[in-house]
Structure 1
Amino acid sequence: MSDETTNGAAAPAPQEAAGPAFSVEKIYVKDVSFESPNSPAIFNEQGQPDLQLNLNQRVQRLNENVFEVSLRVTLTCKVGDKTAYVAEVDQAGVFGLSGLQPQAIDVLLGTQCPNILFPYVRQTAGDLIQAGGFPPFLLQPINFDALYAETLRQRQAQAEASNDVASAEPAGNA
């Protein structure tokens, strides 16, 4: 009984380190930009605003088990042929992933990480737009699982196209 640990918190640590792990190490704003090139005249323009959304995700491996995921959103609002504003937010996070198969890492980087970053992007973009003198804007949810599935379909189509080209070349030379 004298060998038993009264504080059981220390005992499970070696087992936890051996299993799969996913951690959020840091979330930060990498880049922010807001432009309203036609202010203040744009505030008097009449017409239906046209809003365009551009979404881009980038993954960079920092070391064996640590990745930076960057989610960049660019919102361009035009009224007629005049730009009302351009808001750009590049939100990033550092994520630790260990003890996972490469396919599981790819899925987490393509779905879970951007889902974690998205609320920060939405808040920052909304604050920028409102601070620019425009009505409040709430970026609608994005289905990163569906975007990831589409990325997989595109990868598969490219791989099949590469295989078709490779298998057609020898036949053409015969």
Structure 2
Amino acid sequence: MAENNENQTTNQAPTPEAGASNGQAAAPQGPAFALQRIYVKDSSFESPRSPAVFQGQWSPKISFNLGTKTARISDDVFEVVLTITVEAKIEENAAFLAEVHQAGVFTCAGLNDPDLEQVLSAVCPTILFPYAREAVDALIVKGSFPPVNLQPVNFDALYAQSKQRQPAAAAAGAEQPAAE
């Protein structure tokens, strides 16, 4: 990873501070964002009714859920995990369940707390989503089911909605009497 950081430094335009007499390059100014790595952290596929599920008419009800988790690895380095779960049911019987935990390691330096929260909650999942969608689709197709076309997700809008709900939820919690 040190080599990667060297590449980032050499690709930046020289600054007046870089020629300082102490011989050391100055620390980068302003916010910095970089993707270090993308990987599948976990994946699973279940088809509990196979092979009987292939005998009938294929008209499933598809449900799609997603979530994100963030963990700080070091000062400016974070792991973001996007979880996508797709379930297909025929009547009330599960045809398949596919789940992928698509993760990425991101460097986020020089950001204030609100900006950092927005980057980790919206920007990083937006980067991870196409990889997670591809991994889920591959699991489903390898299970001998037709592909599921997961539509793009607007993580910026989801983040904005969650921020709007927070004050409302806090106000609702403040209005309720304490349990005895």
Band of TM-score, shorter chain: 0.7 to 0.9
Q: How far, CA to CA, are the matches of 1:145 and 1:97 in structure 2?
A: 17
2:116 counterpart letter in structure 1: I
Equivalent position SS for 1:117: helix
1:77 aligns with 2:80: no
Q: Which residue of 1 aligns with 2:124?
A: 113
Show the 5 A alignment for 1:86-97.
86-97=97-108
Amino acid in structure 2 at the alignment position of 1:79:
I
**2:34 corresponding residue in structure 1:** 23
Q: Which runs of 4+ in 1 moved over 4 A?
A: 7-10, 13-16, 162-165
Deviations 1:70-125 (CA, angstroms, capped at 9, x unpaired):
10011010112221100000001111111111111011111110000000001001
C-alpha separation between the residues in 2 aligned to 1:104 and 1:15? Answer: 24
TM-score of the superposed pair, with normalisation by structure 1: 0.84
Following TM superposition, by how much is the alpha carbon of 1:9 offset from its aligned partner in structure 2, in angstroms? 6.4
The structure 2 residue matched to 1:140, chosen from 147, 151, 157, is 151
Task: Assess if the C-alpha contact under 8 Å between 1:72 and 1:91 holds in 2.
Answer: yes
C-alpha distance in structure 2 between counterparts of 1:42 and 1:9, whole Å: 56
> Which residue number corresponds to residue 11 of structure 1?
14
Deviation at 1:56, TM superposition (A): 0.9
3-state SS of the aligned residue for 1:129? Answer: helix
Could you state the TM-score of these two structures normalised by the residue count of structure 2? 0.81
AA aligned opposite 1:92: A
Show structure 1 runs of 5+ residues with no match.
1-6, 170-174
Q: Note closer, same or farther for the CA distance 1:9–1:38 as it changes in structure 2 (3 Å cut).
A: closer
Among 51, 68, 71, the residue aligned to 1:57: 68
Please report how far the alpha carbon of residue 40 of structure 1 lies from its aligned counterpart in structure 2 after TM superposition: 0.5
Question: Which structure's CA Rg is the greater one?
Answer: 1
Judge conservation of contact 1:126–1:137 (CA < 8 Å) in 2: yes
142, 152, 167: which is aligned to 1:131? 142
**Identity value in percent:** 44
For these two proteins, the number of residue pairs brought into alignment is 161
CA RMSD in angstroms comes to 2.3
